[in-house]
Structure 1
Amino acid sequence: MRHGHFLKAAEELQYAPSTVTLQIQRLEADLGVSLFIRDGKRVIVTEAGRWLQHEAAAILKTIGSMRQTVSDIAAGDNGSVRLAAIEPVASQQLAAVIAGFCKARPKVELTMEVSGSRSIAERVQSGELDFGVCSVPAANLMLEFEPLIEERLGILLHTDHPLADRTHIASDDLAGLTVLVKEQTCIYRQLWETAVHPTERHAFSCIEVGSISVIQQMVKAELGVGIVPMYRGLEEAGSLVIRPFAEPNPVIAIGIVYKDKNVLGKAALLLMNAIRSIREPPPSRPTA
């Protein structure tokens, strides 16, 4: 249509002129209209032909965009990722990794939630989430689990607290204190209840707080001590310190939970691989 001549159009398309003429004739027959008026060796585009050219150009542009998007999705540079993680690993370890991923792949639509381990595992199993970072899921959910780190519980204290000078704190040291703990469904609360302090639970008073950040602020205001996983990022110079429990202090494995790696998009797989960077190195073996 731009050239006004089938021969020049055929040369640009690298087709035989007869092939171009035949295709135009078939298109006109199929549409039941004339797209061109023949004027000797030249052709003049009809009104129907001009309209078709405009619409075809828009369609071709859309197809090109679709091809590029599909190619980007296959490469992990586009698409969507849905994940959730527990606190405080979400803020203390994953936030920087995810920020770097988003900067490198700005077209990827990423949704990250913060939730409890049980909820995360159930939503991964149902397909609501691509993957999660949490504790070991229940066996009946039939999920894959890749361990990343092991977490230990500690006591969050104001620096002015009498126990802040201790190197380790025993459960008995909490007698008479106000202890800030997470909700019953939290894995850290469960570890505290079942392993660290299975007896004498009434030797101190507990306040249930649904957020570790709020526990931080309450301890900073000198209301009791907090039961938290040991992250240096939860400490504040001059205000808050974390002291480990005296042995035995059991650990919780935190890792990546997913249902079927084969159905995950490339972007999700790339993000999972980036998150693996927080994995703790295996303990070194002693040399002979």
Structure 2
Amino acid sequence: MTAQIRQVEAFLMLAQTGSFSEASRRFGLSQPAFSLSIQRLEEVLGVRLFHRTSRRVKLTAEGEAFLPMASGLLRNWTGVFEEMADLTAVRRGRVALAALPSIAAGLLPPVVLEFTRKHPGVKLEIHDVLQGEVIELVRSGRVDFGISVGSDDSAETEFLPLLDDNFVALLRHDHPLAGHDRISWEALSRHPLVSMTSTTSVRRLTDFTFAEARIGARFLSEVNHLATIAGLVAAGYALAALPALCLPVVLRPDLEWRPLGSPVARRTLGLLRLRHSPSVAAEAFLQELLGIGARNPFPNFAAEISFRPAAQ
């Protein structure tokens, strides 16, 4: 036989009132049924909890010892359901995600702001890492989902395309190519370039595009951060080819961008996650993310960034 939470509640009510009749009335039970509930609890515990007289009820020494335990048990019991109610209503919880740095800095801020406004009690954990680390964090289950380039071709994960963004040229406002409405990759190759490191998806797609067009390119430097590219281009050191989603991060008053064509280089960004149901909080964040396209977050680059139907 095990104790039931209603028996603990009955014990606390009797300890408070000191009267079977008053406690049973407040508890909503007949006095015999209430008395039986106390008796069953005493049988489970193996001790008498109350001294019973014709005039009053008083806690035994064992009852006095059990009183704080019962109060704590009831608080914990109630707290469990309150916490679960908070989780299902997305008032509490945690969402962890991994994203490429350009996504974390360019796409996520308006999503994070709106989600936090709606769900201020949910903690957000954002890992801005390279593609390989995004995949590893998703596979290990350390994050709820990742946002990256393409699928990892694993049966454990699924990939949901969110948007496509074209590569553009980043250059100083006074560079000769700034006078062109569109720049070809061949024209870009005639100038010194700075790029992300060879381990990044941006650099791999850049190299692929030059190779596909059978064009040689002269890279003066490889760097790890978009801010460094912006600084080097602004100094007149080199030009850069970057996805349009990087523009909110790198643009500054002395820099401009132009579409790149012939050929058009485009990457597909999407959601990478394990094939199981996400937490309630993670699902709420996902819905906020999928709604970003309808809000047109990049009106100045709309021709270069196109959201898939699932993200509109």
- TM score, norm. by length of structure 1: 0.88
- Determine the C-alpha separation between the residues in 1 that align with 2:46 and 2:251: 79
Cα deviation, residue 162, structure 1: 1.9
Distance 1:167 1:282, change over 3 A: same
**Any conservation in 2 of the 1:148–1:278 contact (CA below 8 Å)?**
no
**Any conservation in 1 of the 2:134–2:148 contact (CA below 8 Å)?**
yes
Cα deviation, residue 56, structure 1: 1.0
Cα deviation, residue 89, structure 1: 2.2
Give the match's secondary structure for 2:107.
Answer: helix
Cα deviation, residue 30, structure 1: 3.7
Cα deviation, residue 222, structure 1: 2.4
Give the match's secondary structure for 2:237.
Answer: coil
Matching residue of 1:255: 270
Cα deviation, residue 69, structure 1: 0.9
Give the match's secondary structure for 1:263.
Answer: coil
Cα deviation, residue 43, structure 1: 0.8
Cα deviation, residue 87, structure 1: 2.7
Give the match's secondary structure for 1:2.
Answer: helix
Q: Does residue 207 in structure 1 map to residue 194 in structure 2?
A: no
Match of 2:146 among 132, 145, 152: 132
Gaps in structure 2 of 5+ consecutive residues: 1-14, 294-305
Matching residue of 1:274: 288
Match of 1:112 among 126, 132, 141: 126
Q: Does residue 67 in structure 1 map to residue 81 in structure 2?
A: yes
- Determine the C-alpha separation between the residues in 1 that align with 2:177 and 2:249: 17
Cα deviation, residue 234, structure 1: 4.0
1:112 counterpart letter in structure 2:
I
Matching residue of 2:236: 222
Gaps in structure 1 of 5+ consecutive residues: 284-288
- Determine the C-alpha separation between the residues in 1 that align with 2:115 and 2:249: 24
**Any conservation in 2 of the 1:196–1:249 contact (CA below 8 Å)?**
no
2:111 counterpart letter in structure 1:
V
Match of 1:242 among 257, 277, 283: 257
Give aligned-pair identity as a percent.
Answer: 26
Give the match's secondary structure for 2:17.
Answer: coil
Cα deviation, residue 112, structure 1: 0.8
1:87 counterpart letter in structure 2:
P
- Alignment size in residue pairs: 281
- Determine the C-alpha separation between the residues in 2 that align with 1:58 and 1:72: 20
- Determine the C-alpha separation between the residues in 1 that align with 2:154 and 2:54: 78
Within 5 Å, give how 1:45-194 maps onto structure 2.
Answer: 45-175=59-189, 177-194=191-208
Structure 1 residues 66-75 or 41-50, which shifts more?
Answer: 41-50
Matching residue of 1:286: none
